[in-house]
Structure 1
Amino acid sequence: MTKEELLNRLSDIEWDDFEAKEAKSELPKSVWETVSAFANTSGGWIVLGVKQNGKKFEVSGVDNAEKLEQDFLGTIRSQKFNVIVDVKSKLYHIDGRKVLAFHIASSPQKPIYFNNPQNTFIRFGSGDQRANNNEITAMFRNQAFGVKSDQTIPDTNIFMLNTDSLHSYRNYMKLLGDQPNLLSQDDAEFCEKLGISDSRGQINYGSLIMFGKYERVREYVPTFWMDLIEIPGNNISEAKVRYTYRIPEQDNLWEYYMVLIKRIRLIVDTPFKMNRDGFNVEDDSQFKVLREALVNMLMHFDPFSTIHSCIRIYTNRVEFFNAGSYPIPVEQLGKQLYSNPRNPIIAKFFRLVHLAETVGYGIDTMRNWKNLTGNEMTIASDISTSIVTFYLTNDREGVREGVREGVREGVREGVREGVREGVREGVREGVNSNMMKVLKFCREPKSRREILEHLGVIYHSKNFKIHINPLIEQGYLELTIPDVPNNRNQKLRLTDKGRQLIS
């Protein structure tokens, strides 16, 4: 900081990285609170020899600059703080008076406190605030980036994994990955090669969260839960209803991703391109940006926090809310090739099937939103949370209303064409709207899993009993392999009675 920059700052008291203290002949006791606060947030300057009068600063100077400097630096290097803080000092001469300035760097090892953890402070606006227990706990967890998710769980095995989730992921790898040597392996070999399990067959926390069975994930990570809410308004207060959609609970992170990405695909353009092999490829689309934001959220989310990660879709924006801060200050994101996800093993799983950028380029992809839409993308992060926001065009509500009116007109036309009689028949037979959705989906034979995914509910026996079994009992659906009900290739198809109902 030059002398001119210091003088400019003295004309404004609203700096969150600048703290002036009078300190005529000795260090003020509050200076250590500011050291802790700057080290725990984004760093800042402590300036000694400046007195505040109302909203103005006045240079008062210090009497013995050399002694104050040695006292300050000596205390920083003593046992007062739990970690040595990175500090640089500078002496200014202003109007014949001496002014001392110390730059406190943001510490990579947080929390920084003096004497005991209760003396942990954070910078809030232009003042220092004592960190609460949740914020201190969050800082300790942030120091364990990658440690917990990579940790092996004793006495576990791959039978705790959801086989359908694992096979779904393997199918993605077959289509999108570049590890052909893994495709011929059986599940046990595949898991060991990929780092899902170790040589003794034990799995780690990241793999359990990614592919585990519902009850097993909750047994070891009881706080695990993701959320997505669609809110019909620019904020909660103006919404006529609290939400129009909320994601059902899923077994694991991979199942959450599969449902979340389908909802995100509905709100932005998704251009279709085909490569020479006949596969769909994506260009630099809005969907690609939001997919990167989703995966970025999943790679950095804190499954052990009581604060749950959530996607909030408003009329004018999409917010990706996460527990935990970014590992580096927000202003440095995208300025260097830096990749340090909270869950590196989860990040690896997404990158192996090319669902995430590598080596820190994900932020650049997300910031491309401005070029694609003309709308802003913002990133905010504090000690315990972070939010990435993508602003949408203002006419989305008009588009929604047009869609709603089109649906209403289609329904009216359908009624005129005799759908009303079909609905009456369905009601008489006890068929609700979800069951009708199942029947229409089963024009071609479908597995139980495919049907429940189509409904947006988790693959669970209770959902089978609710949505599918009544249709079998009433004769609308039948098994493709009736003699072996539990056959792994079993599917469900429409009967003649079912075709008559949906026609």
Structure 2
Amino acid sequence: MDEKELRKIIRQGEGLTVEFKRAKTALPDNLFESVAAFLNRNGGHIVLGVTDDKKIEGVDLNCVEKICKQIANLSNNPEKLDPQNLIDPQVVDYKDKKLIYFFVPASSQVHKTGKKVFDRSVDGDFVVKTQSAISAMYLRKSNSYTENTVYPGLREIDIKRGMLKKAKDLIRSIRSNHPWLKLNKEDFFKAAGLIRYDSTIGKSGYTLAALMLFGTDEAISSYLPYYKIEAIVRKQDLMRYDDRLTVTCNLIDGYELLNGFIEKHLPDKFYLDGKTRLSLRDKIFREVIANMLIHREYMNPIPTTLVIYKDKLVTNNANKPFAYEKIASQLCSYPKNPHIATMFAQMGFAEYLGTGIRKISDLCEIYSGLKPKFVDNDIFIAEIPLTDHVPEGEKSGGLNGGLNGGLSGGLKIELNETQQKVFLEITKRPGVMIKELSGRLQMPIDTLDKVVSSLRKKELIERRGSKKTGGYWVKKEPTSTSW
């Protein structure tokens, strides 16, 4: 969230999906009433430091960090928000003042605060008092969100070995003090909403979301025998295909496989964002893949497809439509699987809900010169144009001006695409460790070790510090002509 986007929200004013609260020096007493109401209805934006009539008061600079920590901790505390739903607030500079912003997604569960159920209307938050109204809310959510389906027969052995550690490593690379990192397996799954009690059958168990995120291939095939994702290239052979990848594994592994397929078949056009090289391909298509996996209706047997043509990339996935229409780039996408979406966001696979489609749209115009299309129907369709368009950032010259001028003496060093990515990440983050690199680049540690070793042999980087706490620094930089 930046000042420009926040200005649009503030101009819109309070309503069904926007709430302002004063928070000069302390957390508002009724904040979690709004959080619970948004979770129980359609989600929405909360901005602290703004009055009901849009006056910008700001948050005291000395209190910003304290308030942000309180929001994160209380949202993960079932005594305050039941069930908990982790919130990660952002501090935004706005007209020389500090504001705190966060987006609350619509949840697939019914949430309480202070042992009360809240709902949202255009007039604000209100307590749901009658049992019939609360039951109607449970029914609405159970009919809308199949990711909460409980499978009592799913056992711990059906969770793929090493997946929890992999997820925690990815989360740690994004936020080293994340509250989920200290939890054991059962508490982790409960905090993430992946173990639930189903009152209709009187049993607790892993959910469909848990199965899809962490399950073994065998377990997924047993419960969802029709599940698969087909990635296809049709540039030359339009009747069949030029290349094909069939994914039947869990979503975390599948996300990485699909990104590898994209890297294999689409160019990574050079682009400078200020003085930083930005991989437009990675930024756009990682978000496209995450969106495709997050928004699929997994109870529907229609397979998900990703097809690369000469002039476009098209994804199709089964869907429970929210709008039955084309989606504008400014629209917050309606979360079809909130727990899967939250896990993807925590691991850094996707933007937080409400920003992904806008991000794809903005970057796509730079990448291809054209706008993407999104259609929210029984089949959710994303169409990303592919052209020979040269981003303006590429016209500005070599990589970061030859990465600060290149080697003394103009030494030429050949680097492949993977080596470039790793080198640039180390350039941006001196002292970075392998685990953090793995999380940021979504690259296996074994692969990274080989790439880092090759860069050390070329004497481009060096390791400093102890084995446990040391990291990598740039030693010297290649000229732009060798890239």
- TM-score band by shorter chain is 0.3 to 0.5
Find the structure with the greater CA-based Rg. 1
Q: What's the TM-score once normalised by structure 2's chain length? A: 0.45
TM-score (norm: length of structure 1) = 0.44
